[in-house]
Structure 1
């Protein structure tokens, strides 16, 4: 009987040890999967933040170039070559549209909508500048359209700050 008890204790110990090992392995694998998902989420958030920052930089470049072009078209700046500035302005517009497209694909919905609004309102301001460059008169609401573009840029910043918030981890 002593051999039977010893054998039963050995089998029981093996089952308990195997169960503990299997449970620990399962929990470890589950934790590693959770960490991998968290890492992926952080990476996606980092890419979204960088894409939003790229869009903001491009919006600033475009709006600053548009402001300079408006000054030249108003005649208040004669020290700048109008054709070169207009070419730069067109390039900045293309980059703004491109950076907006990237944000539409990867950005969180609220940020993507805010970026699209900036692009749309900046496009309205750009239409005014394009018409003036072609020799048309300034519209009566020229100033409002320029200010609206900058206002939408500010709203975009606030939306991005609210959505992304500081990442402390």
Structure 2
């Protein structure tokens, strides 16, 4: 719940400005009263596209939050909150990652019922995002990898933290 609250507090200001896009920035967390906590998270915002049965290649804002021991990736269709849900009851699924050299890899991630996807520190993708030399990745997330009811597709790029 704490990570969810922090995500809600961080996202709105950047959804409506171009500041901070396509770069990692560090922000001090605040509690439910708006007071600084002394802990920091790194965030990365970028534009991507999403498609489903009603839309093709529409704008999505992708928000990636590095909590130190996990990453949370949220998708804001048409650039507006709330974050898209990939499943109603939390489930694991695979996402596709295209590396700078053109190789395509698949990684298991968790989609919570609150929306977005989590990448835990045990995942090889966590190490790629956090510890590799700076590299531009292209990521594809297909909703039907997490549930039987949806067909949304999200495609975006991220620069690893390197």
In the superposition, the TM-score normalised over structure 2's length comes to 0.24
Between Structure 1 and Structure 2, the one with more helix by share is 1
Between Structure 1 and Structure 2, the one with more strand by share is 2
- Of structures 1 and 2, the one with the larger relative CO (CA 8 A, separation 6+) is 1
Q: Whose radius of gyration is greater, 1 or 2?
A: 1
